[in-house]
């Protein structure tokens, strides 16, 4: 289960807070919110401070967007998982 909220500190940016689990079932929700904000040209920050787990599809998504998005409050295991694309990958 995932809980996602958005706040807009100004007209050009959005903070997306994610709580719970990012997995195959919840990822489409996060992807859609991200896509809409990205396409509208907003600076995107994703706050992952209350994530309990991230599945392989979630890690792949975070890895894909990390260069164009500010990811904050990443738990250590997520930093390792998306850091170089080789750690934490499932066989």
Give the domain CATH number at 29: 3.30.750.24
Q: Is residue 35 part of a domain?
A: yes
9 pLDDT band (50/70/90 cuts)? very high
What is the distance between the alpha carbons of residues 89 and 91, in angstroms, rounded to a whole number? 6
Q: Tally the domains of the chain.
A: 1
38 located within any domain:
yes
- Say if 91 falls within a structural domain: no
Pairing mode, strands 2-10 and 43-54? unpaired
- Identify the helix (H) or strand (E) that includes residue 34: helix 27-39
Q: Which domain holds residue 28?
A: 2-83
Helix-strand-coil split of the chain, %, nearest 5:
35, 35, 30
List, for residues 19-71, the tens digit of each pLDDT value.
Answer: 999 999 999 999 999 999 999 999 999 999 999 999 999 999 999 999 899 99
Of residues 61 and 80, more confidently modeled = 61
53 within a domain of the structure (yes/no): yes
**6 lies in a domain?**
yes
Residue at 76 is within a domain: yes
| pTM for the full predicted model | 0.85
Instruction: Give a yes or no: residue 89 inside a domain.
Output: no
Count the Cβ atoms, other than its own, within 10 Å of residue 28.
10
Residue 90 lies in a domain: no
């Amino acid at each position: 289960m995932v809980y996602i909220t958005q706040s807009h500190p100004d007209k050009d940016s959005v903070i997306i807070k994610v709580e719970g689990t990012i997995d195959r079932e919840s990822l489409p929700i996060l992807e859609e919110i991200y896509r809409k904000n990205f396409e509208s040209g907003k600076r995107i920050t994703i706050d992952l401070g209350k994530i309990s787990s991230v599945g392989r599809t979630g890690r792949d998504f975070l890895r894909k967007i990390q260069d164009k998005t500010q990811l904050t409050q990443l738990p250590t295991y997520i930093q390792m998982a998306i850091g170089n694309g080789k750690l934490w990958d499932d066989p």
